[in-house]
């Protein structure tokens, strides 16, 4: 199988540069030193922000479920959805194992997740505005 760069997704032609993932106890391969540096910077940042993201998203998901469970009606009931979207924009890979972004490369995966998160924000905002005017 062709090896691809974990960061940019290009096939690796030269001798690969490897980044060791401490948390995963695995190494990933990059096409160049540049991608290698970006990957290790990204992994460090990702590890540092993961817990924060889990906590905020966890709280929002819980609030959302409680709202649904108690069938609360209010213009604010979909605000947690928007906050989750914002969190995913800021920390897009919190729910993904790095094997999932191996296929496209980190850079493209970030773009895809941010796009989906953007859609979630718009969706949540639209319902909120809708509820504000009709409830």
Q: What residues make contact with Zn ion under the rule CB under 5 A?
A: 5, 7-8, 31, 35
Between 31 and 113, CB nearer to Zn ion = 31
Measured from the Cβ of residue 121, the count of other Cβ atoms closer than 10 Å reads 18
C-beta of 33 vs 70, nearer to Zn ion: 33
CB of 66 to Zn ion, least distance (A): 44
The angle at the Cα of 100, spanning 123 to 94, to the nearest 5 degrees, equals 55
Cβ-based nearer residue to Zn ion, 107 or 123: 107
Cβ-based neighbour number of residue 39 at 10 Å: 25
- Smallest distance, Å, CB 6 to Zn ion? 8
The least CB distance from residue 28 to Zn ion, in Å, is 11
């Amino acid at each position: 199988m062709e090896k691809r760069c974990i960061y940019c997704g290009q096939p690796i032609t030269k001798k690969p540069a490897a980044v060791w993932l401490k948390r995963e106890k695995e190494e990933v391969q990059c096409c160049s030193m540049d991608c290698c540096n970006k990957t290790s910077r990204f992994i460090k940042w990702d590890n540092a922000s993961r817990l924060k993201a889990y906590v905020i998203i966890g709280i929002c998901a819980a609030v959302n479920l409680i709202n649904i469970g108690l069938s609360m009606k209010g213009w604010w009931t979909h605000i947690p959805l928007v906050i989750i979207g914002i969190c995913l924009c800021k920390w897009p890979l919190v729910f993904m194992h790095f094997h999932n972004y191996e296929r496209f490369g980190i850079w493209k995966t970030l773009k895809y997740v941010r796009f989906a998160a953007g859609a979630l924000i718009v969706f949540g905002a639209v319902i909120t505005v809708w509820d504000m005017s009709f409830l």
